[in-house]
Structure 1
Amino acid sequence: MDAASFSGATPPSPPPSPAVDVVLPCLDEAGALPWVLARMPSGYRAIVVDNGSTDGSAELARSLGAVVVDEQARGFGAACHAGLSAATAPVVCFCDCDASLDPAELPYVADPVLAGDADLVLGRRRPATLGAWPPHARVANRVLARRLRARTGARLHDLGPMRAARREDLLGLGLADRRSGYPLEMVVRAAEAQWRIRETDVRYLPRTGRSKVTGTVRGTITAVRDMSAVLARV
């Protein structure tokens, strides 16, 4: 007989399962993590996927209560898929970990999925300041969104990184890209599966720290190349 039974005390209840898991791909985001994790809504569990950080991001995330997954294979898609594979909640969100998106707004994308009104919801980024979204990145996004509409018929204006869908359905899509084309492949495969795809506005804020993709012309070109390759392949 254990101590709790002997004393008549009620054993502690296990922690409640999260309603939503939030995958946060992370590469050297120690400056943003405290704000990002503090803004996580109740019932949402943060899964920080460390993709080779050298600034202590993984240790910091653990100390702040996040689940941390170490993904050694470099690439945005590799980090996203590792987080999806580690998730256990019925609905999974994806969100950038650089404070450019406010986790407090995650219910905007997750609620329609939780309610059964949509299968995939993307956050359409609305810049909060003039400098939040560099012109070269905005133009590239507009071109890719136009190509995606022509390819899938989905009425989307942004390949926004904040999004939500059901975990089992996402795994069933068989997403293969492990680079910057992962978000676009998700939409293409979802459209092919006749998912109900929606878009909702979210704020886009100036990121914290150095940008790896949209903040640089080189990073944007690489992302466009990866996404174009996905469109040609799938």
Structure 2
Amino acid sequence: MLAEDLAPAEAPPRPRSDDACELTILMPCLNEAETLAVCIDKAMGFLARSGTVGEVLIADNGSTDGSPEIARALGARVVAVPEKGYGAALSGGIAAARGRYVVMGDADDSYDFANLDAFLAELRAGRQLVMGNRFRGGIAPGAMPPLHRWLGNPVLSFIGRLLFRSPCGDFHCGLRGFDRQAMLDLKLHTTGMEFASEMVVKATLHRLSIAEVPTTLSPDGRSRPPHLRSWRDGWRHLRFLLMFSPRWLFLYPGLALLLLGTAGLLALLAGPLRIGGTTFDVHSMLVSSLAILVGAQAVTFCVLAREYAVANGLLPADEGGTLGIERLSLEGWLIAGGVLAAAGLAAIATAVTVWAGRDFGPLEGSAVLRLVIPGVTAAALGVQLVFSGFFRSIVKLRAR
């Protein structure tokens, strides 16, 4: 289809200034010539029917099939976004939008741009993010692959609700509206498909007012495969969700290992422990020691990761704490680490004394190991806390 064969749809009144533009309907575009025209027609039709002063904005990500020319011929505004990626295109479009509100959606004719009334009504009511929910609105046969419908979207949406207490039931619906300034204030930075998750996660963490409205999903009208790659992009979404939740990624697994390891070590200090037909001895103490060290490291990683994220504006400063550890000063970390290291060295020194009493000869039995293993664990843990305390102070110094 050539641009000259397309007649512009009836367009809404052009705003006299950016301040007069209420709504921008934003579509990221990369070679969408097959479906772009019908999407623009529907969007223009909605603006005209609803009497909304707005614009249709195409964020072109390097199309080579004439998509920008088609968009301009139909009265849409086109902004070129040279940085590749779904998120990059949307970020460029949001920055260039003139509307107070933005409704974004894919330009593949899978979303109905002619029926945005519910989105606009929620935005006008003060909502700062309005998500479409395809599971509530209806998914047409063939519109969503079974892997996405029954596994990918439900699982990732459940993880998002669990990790961040988000109210959204469809994390990855591509049709959503938002207050443009509120979204700019979130400083979204991902460039790929995980941009959809970043928007919801940050909106939740910053306590934006969020609503969901039912929306429909139709089979897209393109003859080529979609840009989405199921496993690659699914992993990118999951990776993003975990990285933005230090508590679930580091703290909770670390605490579990720390508690289990400590319980095991204490239970075996006095001697072997027999449970049923199984005897646990110093070898199990070594495993418990490993659990303690890895668990403590994970907990300190949570503190450090959160400090870094807050310092760089990735997480809000009031996004939960880490068992009060974040309130400890550098001196607190040094004292705790020093006490543990000293206790560990004392246990090791006691073991060396016992060895010396045997003329540094071969040691039989497990009595000395019951001193050495806790001693080495405490000493290593103390040194780890000292180094982590200094590293955390460096991060906080940069933030100040």
Query: What range is the shorter-chain TM-score in?
Result: 0.7 to 0.9
Is 1:119 aligned to 2:119, yes or no? Answer: no
CA shift at 1:128, angstroms? 4.5
Look up the equivalent residue of 1:130 and give its one-letter code.
P
**2:141·2:219 contact (CA, 8 Å) conserved in 1?**
no
**1:33·1:57 contact (CA, 8 Å) conserved in 2?**
yes
**2:133·2:213 contact (CA, 8 Å) conserved in 1?**
yes
**2:36·2:108 contact (CA, 8 Å) conserved in 1?**
yes
Q: Which runs of 5+ in 2 are unaligned?
A: 1-12, 245-400
How do 1:85-164 residues align onto structure 2 when only pairs under 5 Å count? 85-116=95-126, 118-125=127-134, 126-138=137-149, 139-158=151-170, 159-164=172-177
Look up the equivalent residue of 2:196 and give its one-letter code.
P
Q: 1:19, 1:98 → 2: CA distance?
A: 24
Higher helix proportion, which one? 2
CA shift at 1:106, angstroms? 2.0
Deviation string, structure 1 residues 178-197 (Cα, Å, up to 9, x no partner): 11111110111011111121
Change over 3 Å in CA distance of 1:14–1:108 after alignment to 2: closer
CA shift at 1:55, angstroms? 1.0
**2:194·2:240 contact (CA, 8 Å) conserved in 1?**
yes
Deviation string, structure 1 residues 145-177 (Cα, Å, up to 9, x no partner): 001100221222212111111111100001111
Q: 2:82, 2:139 → 1: CA distance?
A: 34
Once superposed, which parts of structure 1, at least 4 consecutive aligned residues long, lie more than 2 Å away?
13-18, 126-129, 210-214
CA shift at 1:232, angstroms? 2.5
Is 1:58 aligned to 2:68, yes or no? Answer: yes
2:36 aligns to what?
33
Look up the equivalent residue of 1:112 and give its one-letter code.
E
Q: 2:233, 2:21 → 1: CA distance?
A: 32
1:166 aligns to what?
179
CA shift at 1:88, angstroms? 1.8
Q: 1:21, 1:221 → 2: CA distance?
A: 32
1:72 aligns to what?
82
Q: Which runs of 5+ in 1 are unaligned?
A: 1-12
Is 1:47 aligned to 2:47, yes or no? Answer: no
Two-structure CA RMSD over aligned residues (Å): 1.6
Look up the equivalent residue of 2:226 and give its one-letter code.
K
CA shift at 1:114, angstroms? 1.5
Is 1:231 aligned to 2:245, yes or no? Answer: no
CA shift at 1:86, angstroms? 0.2
Q: Choose 45-54 or 77-86, whichever is displaced more.
A: 45-54
Q: 1:213, 1:231 → 2: CA distance?
A: 21
CA shift at 1:14, angstroms? 6.8
2:392 aligns to what?
none
**1:77·1:180 contact (CA, 8 Å) conserved in 2?**
yes
**2:166·2:201 contact (CA, 8 Å) conserved in 1?**
no
**1:177·1:230 contact (CA, 8 Å) conserved in 2?**
no
Higher strand proportion, which one? 1
How do 1:151-230 residues align onto structure 2 when only pairs under 5 Å count? 151-158=163-170, 159-209=172-222, 210-214=224-228, 219-230=229-240
**2:28·2:86 contact (CA, 8 Å) conserved in 1?**
yes
Q: 1:204, 1:108 → 2: CA distance?
A: 15
**2:59·2:80 contact (CA, 8 Å) conserved in 1?**
yes
Q: 2:85, 2:78 → 1: CA distance?
A: 17
CA shift at 1:127, angstroms? 4.1
Percent identity over the alignment is: 31
CA shift at 1:130, angstroms? 1.3
Q: Choose 119-128 or 80-89, whichever is displaced more.
A: 119-128
Q: Secondary structure at the match of 2:182?
A: helix
Q: 1:97, 1:121 → 2: CA distance?
A: 19
How many residue pairs get matched? 217
* Larger Rg computed on CA atoms: 2
Change over 3 Å in CA distance of 1:157–1:15 after alignment to 2: closer
Q: 2:232, 2:212 → 1: CA distance?
A: 25
Deviation string, structure 1 residues 192-215 (Cα, Å, up to 9, x no partner): 11112111111101101124245x
Deviation string, structure 1 residues 130-157 (Cα, Å, up to 9, x no partner): 1111111222111110011002212222
Change over 3 Å in CA distance of 1:149–1:128 after alignment to 2: closer
